[in-house]
Amino acid sequence: MSDDSHFYEPARGHGLPHDPFNAIVGPRPIGWIATRSNAGVLNLAPYSFFNAFNYTPPLIGFSSIGRKDTLRNIEENGEFVWNLATRPLADAMNTSCAPAPPEVDEFALAGLSPLASRVVQVPRVAESPVSFECRRTQIIELQGVNGSGVGSWLVLGEVVGVHIARHLLKDGVYDTAAAAPILRGGGPADYFEIRADGLFKMRRPAWP
């Protein structure tokens, strides 16, 4: 069988109009992270390198490419809130990713309302139907194969409080599609929306 594929070694460049890596590893859930500085300034920013990593305790994490305000705030006080980015909130989420200086409150910039959390001191996005209150567990500087830091930091946190809008619970089961979450695709501007017509089911196979 012939190998009709485009091959490249990332260190030597991809040779394409746009780096395909983000498009291949995608679409990816969005880490819409709220933090507060010790001076009291709120920060809200989306991260496309985000996911969940453990059930018990529930652990989530995101990667900060560069030392951004979100990372510095979590280093200061160890708290953050993840908020679900949905299709109705897409424009506000996009506004919150503007490269604003540290003294700018992205809640206000994006026209969003901070709502007090139950466990942590960082507020959640009132307009978002789902939020996780989190406490930092680890901050790890990522490294290449040569052992050198790459200027990105993986931030992991334990979910210590969960908020779910009641209309998303159908007979006690969370309805993913009803929340209309958006996901980050590839290219400079691609996003995807989860819809009910994209649902299919598979059960894990039993082992005799």
Helix, coil or strand: residue 151:
strand
In tens, the pLDDT along 162-203 reads 999 999 999 999 999 999 999 999 878 999 999 999 999 999
Instruction: Residue 176: count other Cβ atoms within 10 Å of its Cβ.
Output: 13
pLDDT digits (tens, 9 = 90+) for 79-118: 999 999 999 999 999 999 999 999 999 999 999 999 999 9
CA distance linking residue 114 with residue 38, whole number of Å: 17
pLDDT above 80 (res 1): no
Segment 47-67, tens digit of pLDDT: 999 999 999 999 999 999 999
3-state secondary structure of 24: helix
Measure the CA–CA gap between 28 and 17, rounded to whole angstroms.
21
Where helices occur in 13-165 by DSSP H, the ranges are: 21-24, 69-77, 90-95, 106-109
With cut-offs at 50, 70 and 90, classify the pLDDT of residue 144.
very high
Burial of 178 (0-12, 13-18, 19+ CB in 10 A): middle
- Scanning the chain, the segments in alpha helix (DSSP H) are 21-24, 69-77, 90-95, 106-109
Computed over every residue of the chain, the mean pLDDT equals: 96
Q: Which residue has the higher pLDDT, 3 or 41?
A: 41
How far apart, in Å, are the Cα atoms of 72 and each of 12, 20, 36, 50, 97? Answer: 32, 30, 10, 18, 16
Residue-range domains of the chain with CATH: 22-195 (2.30.110.10)
